[in-house]
């Protein structure tokens, strides 16, 4: 058998091979290096791996090409790895996230995240994540996908010894991720059966209008949606993210779920371009539901990681909405707006990767420092963890899509695409586009509330628990990782031109006349110059400041004669996350159905005097209680019935084999 | 040995095998079953000897002696010892299927055996080939006894019946197996029976009876 590579090696090929080599090195280092330096050594290899992924992705985006074929001992033929601009974009995102997460992991070295298994699984996970977008055929794609799923399950399980809920979370995750795998396998099998081969070129020979293409699309879209965490198959997200160590949550949320988006784009843009319009409508609908449901759940969540997980569902929903809008508008020949929507989808991918990495890493630092994940027990962390607070704040700005962050640019692009996609003469588009605008607007508003809550309750005011009061800032590499993620959020927001050009070339659309700093969606006649906006904003602020300073009179000192009770402020008087979200929970009562429990204890002397009021509120995921629990009960009942077949009686087992023998003999005879 | 004599002897041995098997299904008494099993062992041994004489194969004669010794003498002894300590509990009291039903099933299985053996019988018309359905039937009867009897020793008898049937088919169709293989198989059967005998005594010592229905906690 010949070696893996023949002829001169291009830079991209070298990058792909380098990543595979680094994965091997990472595993060897994790297994051999003594525990004292394991985290540092293994983390450094992972940092290099992430950097290699980012560099390879950037090279592929710039149009460099390369194909690596690896012989395998499996009966599947070669594993073909091939860099394309679209894949390169996602490899860049995954590499970048992997880099900061690995850097963070070096400093977070304590407890189960320095175990040999964890250190070996992390580079494997990162490597598989970066190889998924590089896969050159369906088999390689599924191999990389499965390795990614298995490695991430191992990482989710890292803290299983300390916390019981981790095991349940990992089971949910493993079940859902394999559901996704099975759906993908079926989908690709349908395409391969029709197209006559497993490489992308054969798959793309299938006519997008044919029924088998639609069957494959439904299967593949469902599979990718499961991985991406779209409602109603999002249930693993709010379980797995709180269970996993923070750097793993960061990679999973910021990079892994994006592979679902990559898959959808791969199928709809590259393999089956020009599918029927209902494909786009279906994606758009799923995305819209996810976006609203995700952010509603996030807005009332009090577990910080759960909140971030639901926010991931929301953002994935927006990405699906953008991709669906693009596909639908393409099918209705509204090409400029369609192109803008797809570019917006990729911008959302990059911006979400940046701010969610910052948020998860900062959350990890908070948990590390205070031992608390419950927002209601945090507070005052801004003064104690200034770097973490800064990183979380910037990430929260991004998540709330406020200006000078990447999130703003992405949502602006999405809104532009959706608004300019409206076509009064086309009935379907005319109905759907305004709804999409509403969904995006509602989501943006709720996201703002959610992240004001998250930042305000956790980092401002006074500590609500001893853990929060005693928090100390985390180690250097963790701070560096958080700050670099935060810098990425701001940099992509201030100078989004390069990113937009990259997204355009990845999506294969005509790039607008973009400068380094500005976004120009020339097709829909909209442009944005965040730097100019920033300068104008700073000038306005300066003017207002100067005016108010000039107008300020000498303050007279005021002494309080009566403090109205305010001087004896107690941490328990503060707003909590639950109370802050209470109005929202009331407004969306029908959609959220929170379980409320109010216990009032009256004074013994009179029932008009209240001694104590206890209020407990729990928001359960409606999808879980209404959709999954009945389904699981059904499966459980079938399993119990099935157990009757196996009652332990030896006669029954012998009878089974006897009957089987007789049946076989009869079949053979007749 | 003349051809007609050979055919009659093979037929006689096959008839003994079949008759013993049917009677084992019919009898309730464990001692009676063991005696029938011994008779069947003799029948099988003689069958192998007849085949050996007809073929003029010395090795087959050695196998015949081995089969006779093992299935006609040693295994019945071992089984008898397993039941001797069993004071009074010498009958298969409550089989899962009553005797009448068992006998009807035996008839049906016999038909099945003939049906299944048709392709084999199409290959030739020599006396051993004509007797192949008997081997098949004994195998099926053995399985029936194995899966419908409650007493551990009855089950052992079913297992040996099954083994006899398989042996019969092997001798009739292939003219016997090489000595080494036969030795190995015989040793295996002997070991299994010895182990099961010990196990049965242990079960009786622990639970006071050898009814396998009490042993339903083996699952999971």
Over range A1-29, report the average pLDDT.
Answer: 77
Range of weakest confidence among A17-21, A273-277, A286-290, A646-650: A646-650
* Residues of the domain holding B170: 3-214
pLDDT at residue A1 in the model: 36
Residue A580 has pLDDT above 60, yes or no: yes
Length of chain B (residues): 220
- Taking contacts as CB-CB distances below 8 angstroms, the residues of chain B near A647 are 216, 219
Over range B90-98, report the average pLDDT.
Answer: 76
pLDDT > 70: percent of chain A: 95
pLDDT at residue A373 in the model: 87
Measure CB to CB from residue A647 to each of B109, B115, B216 and give the nearest one: B216
Residue identified by tokens 């309080």 is: A560
Measure CB to CB from residue A665 to each of B96, B116, B150 and give the nearest one: B116
CA distance B93 to chain A (A): 16
Residue A141 has pLDDT above 90, yes or no: yes
Measure CB to CB from residue B116 to each of A648, A655, A669 and give the nearest one: A669
Domain presence at residue B41:
yes
B147/A668 touch (CB, cutoff 8 Å), yes or no: no
pLDDT at residue A78 in the model: 75
Domain presence at residue B220:
no
Contacts of B70 by beta carbon, 8 Å cutoff, 6+ apart: B41, B186, B189, B190
Over range B124-137, report the average pLDDT.
Answer: 88
Smallest CA–CA distance from A652 into chain B, residue: B147
Measure CB to CB from residue A669 to each of B115, B146, B147 and give the nearest one: B115
Residue B92 has pLDDT above 90, yes or no: no
- b/e code A332-351 from CB counts within 10 Å (16+ = b): bebebbbbbbbbbbbbbbbb
pLDDT at residue A607 in the model: 81
Question: What CA–CA distance (Å, rounded) separates B181 from B186?
Answer: 8
Cα A60 to Cα A63, A64, A624: the distances in Å are 5, 5, 41
CA distance B170 to chain A (A): 18
Handedness of CA A644, A647, A653, A655 (dihedral sign): negative
CA distance B25 to chain A (A): 16
The model's pLDDT over A282-291, given as tens digits with 9 standing for 90+, comes to 999 999 999 9
If phi > 0 it is left, if psi is from -120 to 50 it is alpha, else beta; for residue A7 that is left
pLDDT at residue B216 in the model: 60
Cα A450 to Cα A229, A296, A582, B10, B37: the distances in Å are 19, 9, 12, 92, 83
Measure CB to CB from residue B216 to each of A649, A654, A665 and give the nearest one: A649
B interface with A, Cβ–Cβ < 8 A, is: 96, 109, 112, 115-116, 118, 140, 143-144, 146-148, 150, 212-213, 215-219
pLDDT band at A651 (very low <50, low <70, confident <90, very high): confident
pLDDT at residue A7 in the model: 54
Residue A3 has pLDDT above 60, yes or no: no
pLDDT at residue B86 in the model: 52
Residue B32 has pLDDT above 70, yes or no: yes
B146/A654 touch (CB, cutoff 8 Å), yes or no: yes
B213/A668 touch (CB, cutoff 8 Å), yes or no: no
Measure CB to CB from residue B215 to each of A650, A657, A658 and give the nearest one: A650
Residue A460 has pLDDT above 50, yes or no: yes
Determine the 3-state secondary structure of A575 from DSSP. Answer: coil
Are residues A217 and A272 in contact, defined by beta-carbon separation less than 8 angstroms?
yes
pLDDT at residue A308 in the model: 95
Whether a cis peptide bond, with omega within 30° of 0, leads into A232 is: yes
Residue identified by tokens 């006897």 is: A658
Which has more confidence, A617 or A131?
A131
A650/B212 touch (CB, cutoff 8 Å), yes or no: yes
Which has more confidence, A211 or B151?
A211
Domain presence at residue B219:
no
Question: What CA–CA distance (Å, rounded) separates A280 from B66?
Answer: 79
pLDDT at residue A395 in the model: 95
CA distance A168 to chain B (A): 22
Task: Pick from A644, A647, A650 the residue to mutate for testing the B interface (most B CBs within 10 Å).
Answer: A650
pLDDT at residue B214 in the model: 64
Over range A335-344, report the average pLDDT.
Answer: 89
Residue A375 is encoded by which pair of tokens? 């927002």
- Taking contacts as CB-CB distances below 8 angstroms, the residues of chain A near B215 are 648, 650
- Give the containing element (helix H, strand E) for A600: strand A595-602
Residue A371 has pLDDT above 50, yes or no: yes
CA distance A6 to chain B (A): 54
Over range A222-247, report the average pLDDT.
Answer: 92
CA distance B214 to chain A (A): 8
Determine the 3-state secondary structure of A614 from DSSP. Answer: strand
- Give the containing element (helix H, strand E) for B214: none
Number of separate domains in chain B? 1
Residue A47 has pLDDT above 60, yes or no: yes
The model's pLDDT over A51-63, given as tens digits with 9 standing for 90+, comes to 999 999 999 988 8
Strands A526-528 and A595-602: unpaired
pLDDT at residue A4 in the model: 47
- Taking contacts as CB-CB distances below 8 angstroms, the residues of chain A near B147 are 651, 654-655, 657-658
Q: What is the mean pLDDT of chain A?
A: 88
Are residues A395 and A387 in contact, defined by beta-carbon separation less than 8 angstroms?
no
Over range A202-220, report the average pLDDT.
Answer: 91
Question: What CA–CA distance (Å, rounded) separates A203 from A196?
Answer: 7
pLDDT at residue A565 in the model: 66
B218/A650 touch (CB, cutoff 8 Å), yes or no: yes
Helices (H), A421-475: 427-459, 466-469
Q: What is the mean pLDDT of chain B?
A: 85
- Give the containing element (helix H, strand E) for A526: strand A526-528
Beta strands in A307-377 (DSSP E): none
How many CB atoms neighbour CB A637 within 10 A? 10
Smallest CA–CA distance from B216 into chain A, residue: A648
Length of chain A (residues): 670
Residue identified by tokens 């803290």 is: A159
- CB of A646 within 8 Å of a chain B CB? The answer is yes
- CB of A660 within 8 Å of a chain B CB? The answer is no
A651/B219 touch (CB, cutoff 8 Å), yes or no: no
Helices (H), B56-174: 58-67, 75-84, 99-121, 127-130, 132-148, 152-174
CA distance B17 to chain A (A): 21
Domain presence at residue B186:
yes
Question: What CA–CA distance (Å, rounded) separates A299 from A292?
Answer: 11
CA distance B138 to chain A (A): 14
Chain A to chain B Cβ contacts (< 8 Å): 44
Residue B142 is encoded by which pair of tokens? 């053995």
pLDDT at residue A468 in the model: 87
Are residues B124 and B158 in contact, defined by beta-carbon separation less than 8 angstroms?
no
Domain presence at residue B58:
yes
DSSP string, B17-71: HHHHHHHHHH--BHHHHHHHHHHHHHHHHHHHHHHHHHHT-HHHHHHHHHHIIII
Residue B175 has pLDDT above 80, yes or no: no
pLDDT at residue A13 in the model: 87
Helix pair A406-420, A476-494: axis angle to 10 deg: 30
Over range B104-132, report the average pLDDT.
Answer: 89
Are residues A30 and A116 in contact, defined by beta-carbon separation less than 8 angstroms?
yes
Domain presence at residue B133:
yes
Strands A519-521 and A526-528: antiparallel
pLDDT band at A324 (very low <50, low <70, confident <90, very high): very high
pLDDT band at A199 (very low <50, low <70, confident <90, very high): confident
Among residues A204, A354, A340, A220, which one has the least CA distance to residue A279? A220
Q: What 8-state DSSP symbol labels residue A199?
A: B
The model's pLDDT over A388-437, given as tens digits with 9 standing for 90+, comes to 999 999 999 999 998 889 999 999 999 988 888 877 788 888 889 989 99
The model's pLDDT over A73-110, given as tens digits with 9 standing for 90+, comes to 766 667 888 888 999 999 999 999 999 999 998 887 66
Query: Which of A632-636, A647-651, A664-668 has the highest average model confidence (pLDDT)?
Result: A632-636
Are residues A282 and A328 in contact, defined by beta-carbon separation less than 8 angstroms?
no
**Cross-strand pairs, B208:** none
pLDDT at residue A49 in the model: 94
Indicate if ipTM > 0.90: no
Domain presence at residue B42:
yes
- CB of A669 within 8 Å of a chain B CB? The answer is yes
B112/A649 touch (CB, cutoff 8 Å), yes or no: no
pLDDT at residue A5 in the model: 46
Question: What CA–CA distance (Å, rounded) separates A314 from A410?
Answer: 14
Question: What CA–CA distance (Å, rounded) separates A453 from A311?
Answer: 13
A650/B144 touch (CB, cutoff 8 Å), yes or no: no
Residue B88 has pLDDT above 70, yes or no: no
**Cross-strand pairs, A618:** A595
How many CB atoms neighbour CB A426 within 10 A? 17
Cα B90 to Cα A193, B151, B192, B206, B214: the distances in Å are 65, 10, 22, 18, 18
Longest dimension (CA), chain A: 110
Domain presence at residue B72:
yes
The model's pLDDT over A491-547, given as tens digits with 9 standing for 90+, comes to 998 888 888 888 888 888 876 655 556 777 766 777 788 888 888 889 999 999 998
How many CB atoms neighbour CB A165 within 10 A? 12
Question: What CA–CA distance (Å, rounded) separates A250 from A54?
Answer: 16
The model's pLDDT over A477-495, given as tens digits with 9 standing for 90+, comes to 899 999 999 999 999 988 8
Residue B79 is encoded by which pair of tokens? 């089984």
pLDDT > 90: percent of chain A: 47
Are residues A360 and A246 in contact, defined by beta-carbon separation less than 8 angstroms?
yes
- Taking contacts as CB-CB distances below 8 angstroms, the residues of chain B near A649 are 213, 216
Question: What CA–CA distance (Å, rounded) separates A409 from A419?
Answer: 15
CA distance A633 to chain B (A): 22
Residue A610 has pLDDT above 90, yes or no: no
B219/A646 touch (CB, cutoff 8 Å), yes or no: yes
- CB of A647 within 8 Å of a chain B CB? The answer is yes
CA distance B121 to chain A (A): 13
A658/B147 touch (CB, cutoff 8 Å), yes or no: yes
Question: What CA–CA distance (Å, rounded) separates A317 from A622?
Answer: 17
Smallest CA–CA distance from A653 into chain B, residue: B147
Smallest CA–CA distance from A660 into chain B, residue: B143
Cα A567 to Cα A56, A560, A561, A579, A600: the distances in Å are 59, 9, 11, 22, 28
Measure CB to CB from residue A665 to each of B112, B213, B218 and give the nearest one: B112
């Amino acid at each position: 058998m010949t070696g893996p590579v023949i002829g001169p090696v291009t830079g991209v090929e070298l990058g792909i091979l380098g990543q595979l080599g680094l994965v091997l090195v990472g595993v060897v280092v994790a297994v051999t290096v003594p525990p004292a330096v394991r985290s540092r050594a293994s983390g450094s290899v992972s940092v290099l791996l992430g950097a290699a992924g980012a560099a390879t992705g950037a090279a592929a985006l710039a149009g460099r090409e390369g194909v690596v074929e690896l012989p395998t001992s499996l009966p599947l033929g070669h594993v073909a790895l091939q860099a394309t601009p679209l894949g390169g974009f996602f490899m860049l995102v995954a590499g970048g996230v992997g880099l900061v997460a690995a850097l963070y992991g070096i400093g977070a070295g304590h407890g189960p995240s320095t175990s040999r298994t964890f250190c070996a699984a992390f580079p494997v996970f990162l490597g598989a994540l970066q190889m998924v977008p590089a896969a050159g055929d369906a088999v390689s794609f599924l191999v990389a996908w499965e390795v990614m799923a298995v490695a991430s399950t191992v990482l989710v399980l890292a803290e299983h010894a300390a916390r019981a809920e981790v095991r349940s979370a990992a089971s949910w995750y493993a079940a859902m991720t394999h559901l996704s795998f099975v759906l993908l396998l079926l989908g690709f099998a349908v395409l391969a059966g029709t197209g006559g081969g497993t490489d992308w070129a054969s798959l793309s020979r299938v006519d997008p209008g044919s029924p088998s293409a639609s069957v494959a699309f439904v299967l593949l879209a469902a599979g990718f949606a499961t991985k991406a965490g779209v409602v109603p198959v999002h249930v693993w997200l709010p379980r797995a993210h709180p269970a996993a160590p923070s750097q793993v949550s960061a990679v999973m949320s910021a990079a892994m779920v994006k592979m679902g988006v990559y898959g959808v784009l791969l199928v709809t843009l590259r393999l089956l371009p020009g599918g029927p319009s209902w494909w786009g409508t279906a994606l758009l609908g799923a995305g819209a539901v996810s976006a609203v449901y995700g952010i509603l759940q996030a807005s009332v969540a009090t577990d910080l990681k759960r909140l971030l997980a639901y926010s991931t569902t929301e953002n994935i929903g927006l990405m699906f909405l953008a991709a669906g809008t693009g596909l639908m508008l393409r099918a209705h020949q509204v090409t400029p707006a369609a192109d803008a929507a797809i570019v917006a989808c990729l911008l959302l991918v990059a911006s979400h990767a940046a701010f969610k990495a910052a948020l998860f890493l900062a959350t990890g630092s908070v948990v590390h420092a205070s031992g608390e994940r419950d927002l209601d027990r945090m507070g005052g962390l801004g003064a104690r963890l200034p770097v973490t607070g800064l990183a979380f704040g910037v990430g929260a700005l991004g998540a709330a899509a406020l200006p000078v962050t990447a999130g703003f640019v992405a949502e602006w692009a999405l809104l532009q695409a959706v608004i300019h996609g409206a076509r009064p003469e086309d009935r379907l588009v005319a109905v759907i586009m305004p709804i999409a605008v509403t969904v995006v607007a509602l989501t943006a508003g709720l996201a703002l509330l959610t992240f004001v809550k998250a930042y305000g309750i956790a980092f401002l005011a006074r500590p609500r628990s001893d853990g929060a009061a005693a928090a100390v800032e985390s180690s250097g590499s963790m701070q560096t990782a958080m700050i670099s993620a935060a810098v990425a959020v701001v940099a992509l927001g201030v100078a989004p031109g390069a990113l937009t050009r990259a997204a355009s070339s990845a999506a294969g659309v005509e790039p607008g006349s973009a400068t380094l700093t500005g976004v120009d969606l020339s097709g829909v006649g909209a442009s944005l110059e965040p730097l100019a906006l920033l300068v104008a904003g700073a000038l306005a602020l300066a003017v207002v400041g100067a005016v108010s300073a000039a107008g300020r009179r000498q303050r007279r000192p005021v002494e309080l004669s009566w403090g109205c009770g305010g001087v004896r402020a107690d941490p328990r008087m503060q707003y909590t996350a639950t109370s802050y979200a209470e109005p929202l929970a009331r407004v969306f009562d029908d959609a959220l159905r929170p379980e409320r429990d109010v216990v009032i204890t009256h004074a013994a002397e009179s029932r008009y005097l209240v001694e104590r009021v206890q209020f407990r509120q729990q928001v359960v995921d409606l999808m879980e209680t209404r959709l999954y629990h009945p389904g699981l009960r059904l499966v459980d009942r079938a399993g119990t019935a099935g157990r009757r077949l196996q009652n332990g009686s030896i006669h029954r087992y012998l009878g089974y084999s006897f009957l089987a023998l007789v049946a076989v003999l009869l079949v053979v005879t007749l | 040995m003349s051809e007609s004599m050979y055919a009659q002897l093979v037929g006689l041995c096959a008839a003994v095998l079949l008759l013993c098997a049917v009677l084992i299904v019919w009898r309730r008494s464990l001692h009676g079953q063991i005696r029938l099993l011994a008779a069947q062992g003799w029948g099988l041994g003689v069958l192998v000897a007849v085949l050996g004489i007809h073929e003029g194969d010395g090795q087959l004669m050695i196998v015949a002696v081995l089969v006779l010794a093992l299935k006609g003498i040693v295994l019945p002894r071992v089984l008898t010892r397993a039941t001797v300590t069993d004071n009074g509990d010498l009958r298969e009291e409550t089989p899962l299927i009553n005797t009448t039903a068992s006998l009807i099933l035996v008839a049906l299985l016999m038909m099945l055996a003939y049906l299944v053996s048709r392709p084999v019988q199409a290959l030739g018309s020599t006396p051993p080939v004509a007797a192949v359905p008997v081997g098949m039937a004994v195998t099926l009867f053995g399985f029936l006894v194995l899966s419908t009897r409650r007493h551990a020793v009855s089950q052992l008898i079913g297992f040996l019946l099954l083994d006899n049937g398989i042996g019969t088919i092997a001798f009739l169709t292939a003219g016997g197996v090489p000595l080494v293989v036969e030795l190995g198989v015989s040793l295996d059967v002997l070991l299994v029976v010895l182990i099961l005998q010990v196990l049965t005594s242990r079960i009786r010592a622990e639970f006071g009876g050898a009814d396998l229905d009490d042993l339903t906690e083996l699952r999971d």
